Amino acid sequence: MTSTLTEYPRPARAEDVPALMALRTEAEVWLSSKGTDQWSDPETGAKAIAKWRASIDEKRAWVVVDSGKVLGTVSRGPVDRDFWTDEDRPETAFHLYKLVVARQAAGRHLGARLVDWASRLAAMEGRDWVRIDTWRTNEGLHSYYERLGFRHVRTESPSHRLSGWLAQRPTTALSLPKLPLTVGPPREDRSTPIPSRRIPMD
């Protein structure tokens, strides 16, 4: 099966922003069909673009592509101080953000494989955890991450945020170890290691 895999991650570029927003728009519609209000605020679109551009400029955003088409994205970021405290030892964690996968990629397990990819990168950096914060009311998403091995840490509810369901997974836990995403297109050596770029989490 691995010989047929053609998708691979690469750093996101400024020209990817329209594709990233298309992914987000598609996700908004899908989330609405599932009965959740996540990303339903029309004002968040411009904010999302600005955040993605900043993540790209800071080299924290990645996309998964296949035949030139963006099928998914994930970002890493600094510790969110609305949720995580010094007692959580933020330096021990990789903070994962903006995991979005195109509906047309259903069945490829790209979400789980992207989380595994982040886990491998975090382990290479000497970190112990991959951490997430998700929409507090999106119980379906909570269950998804729990199926991937994340354990709920706690829920924070700051008045100015709708996210706050906090969870983490050890970097040693992989959902699909036999289906790794590796950097570089298929014509390159698919054993190419993931480049490590340690970013301060504080």
pLDDT for 36: 64
Compute the distance between CA of residue 122 and CA of residue 11 in angstroms, rounded to an integer: 16
Report the SS3 class of residue 196. Answer: coil
Chain CA centroid to CA 135, Å: 14
Residue with tokens 């296949």, as numbered in its chain: 66
pLDDT of residue 35: 61
Which among 127, 133, 70 is positioned nearest to 96, based on CA atoms?
A: 133
Instruction: Report the phi/psi class of residue 184: left, alpha or beta, with left for phi > 0 and alpha for psi in -120 to 50.
Output: left
With a CB cutoff of 8 Å and minimum separation 6, the contacts of 187 are none
197 Rama sector, left if φ>0, alpha if ψ -120 to 50, beta otherwise: beta
Q: DSSP letter string over 143-188?
A: HHHHHTT-EEEEE---TT-SEEEEEEEETT--S-TTS---SS-TTS
> What size, in residues, is the chain?
202
Whole-structure pTM value: 0.82
Beta strand segments in the chain, E: 8-11, 61-66, 69-77, 93-101, 129-135, 151-155, 163-170
Task: List average pLDDT for each run of 10 residues in the chain, which is 202 residues long.
Answer: 71 92 79 61 65 86 93 93 96 94 90 95 96 91 95 95 94 94 60 40 38
What is the DSSP code (8-state) at residue 4? G
Q: Give the type of residue at 191.
A: S
Q: Which phi and psi (to 5°) does residue 135 adopt?
A: -55, 130
Query: Could you give the dihedral angle defined by the CA atoms of residues 170, 172, 178 and 180, in that order, rounded to the nearest 10 degrees?
Result: 70
